[in-house]
Amino acid sequence: MRIGALEAGGTKMVCAVVEEGQVTERISLPTRSPAETMPEIIEYFAAQQVEALGVGSFGPLDLDRNSPTWGYITATPKDGWRFYDLAGELQRALDIPVALDTDVNCAALGEARFGSCVGLDDCVYITVGTGIGMGVLCGGRLIHGMQHPELGHIPVAPVFGDNYQGCCPYHGRCLEGMASGSALRGRWGIPAQEMADRPEVWQLEAEYLAQGIVTCILAYAPRRIVLGGGVAHQPQLLPLVRAAVTRQLAGYVSTEVVKDMDSYIVAPALNDNQALLGCYELVRDPSVQG
Ligand code: ZN
């Protein structure tokens, strides 16, 4: 089966074809306004003659199948995309079934079925880039409730000596406000990738990410956590995060799984195809959405 996969991001739209669990075609388009970007996406998938489409999108999204606005991107600050009927537009234009979930839920699903969490029904994917998001697969289902979880915005305690006020327009010092790529740039004045040789930057970053991860461990008891996204490409970060998580847990959760921290918190294993493969899985196995 030839399935289309769309990873809809705030800066780029990655369009791909997935067959038998392999990405066989892939292009990337800049995200502009819907009027400019949607026709390009539709043209691509129409030409590829896909039979169905899985979409992993930036949010927030309405994922309630009983809601009249299911499939909409809702309260995003991104120009033109606010209350935009993403899934509906694609469905009408392509006349094929469309499945939708968040980009991070799709990445969690992709890693669970094809990557670093194969065989696990309980895992979390965290992306640390411009913003922070977490996708949660729990008992083999992607978590939804009245909407999807928004773990990038959980409160964190300021680390002693850090006076940065945070960059989240809603909460200031939430996890995203203190540890996203935007926060790193705001606190230190230069982009994350230019601070690779400054240990104090990464130690502080690890302290905040660990707070988010500890909350996630306590809330969802995942069997593995994948740390991805542009900021997490810094190779020095992962060992610091593992150490900080162990310290912050303070022995309270001490299963054998958590004691083996090197295989508990891991890097993605799918070369940036994790969300696309998750889109494919949404179509192939709709039961994962409950
Ligand atoms: Zn926030």
- Higher-confidence residue of 145 and 209: namely 209
Binned at pLDDT 50, 70 and 90, residue 14 comes out as very high
Q: Taking residues 257-274, report their average pLDDT.
A: 95
Give the residue among 86, 80, 79 at the shortest CA–CA distance from 62: 86
CA–centroid distance, 171 to ligand 1, in Å, is 4
Q: Taking residues 61-80, report their average pLDDT.
A: 92
- CATH number, domain 116-266: 3.30.420.40
Q: What is the pLDDT of residues 19-52, one digit of tens each?
A: 999 999 999 999 999 999 999 999 999 999 999 9
Is the predicted pLDDT of residue 252 greater than 90, yes or no? yes
Q: What's the pTM?
A: 0.96
**116-266: same fold as 3-102+283-289?**
yes
CA–centroid distance, 17 to ligand 1, in Å, is 34
pLDDT value of position 266: 98
Give the residue among 126, 109, 99 at the shortest CA–CA distance from 208: 126
CA–centroid distance, 152 to ligand 1, in Å, is 7
pLDDT value of position 237: 97
Is the predicted pLDDT of residue 76 greater than 90, yes or no? no
CA–centroid distance, 290 to ligand 1, in Å, is 27
CA–centroid distance, 284 to ligand 1, in Å, is 33
> What is the fold, at CATH topology level, of the domain defined by 3-102+283-289?
Nucleotidyltransferase; domain 5 (3.30.420)
Binned at pLDDT 50, 70 and 90, residue 254 comes out as confident
CA–centroid distance, 257 to ligand 1, in Å, is 30
> What is the C-alpha separation between 86 and 250, in angstroms, rounded?
44
CA–centroid distance, 95 to ligand 1, in Å, is 37
- Tokens 């996708």 locate to 135
Q: How far is CA 183 from CA 9, 191, 268, in A?
A: 19, 9, 22
Give 160's contacts (C-beta < 8 A, 6+ positions apart). none
Q: How far is CA 196 from CA 149, 159, 205, 236, in A?
A: 31, 21, 12, 8
pLDDT value of position 146: 84
CA–centroid distance, 143 to ligand 1, in Å, is 20
Binned at pLDDT 50, 70 and 90, residue 209 comes out as very high
CA–centroid distance, 169 to ligand 1, in Å, is 7
- Where exactly are the structural domains of the chain? 3-102+283-289, 116-266
Counting Cα atoms < 13 Å in the Cβ hemisphere of 201 gives 22
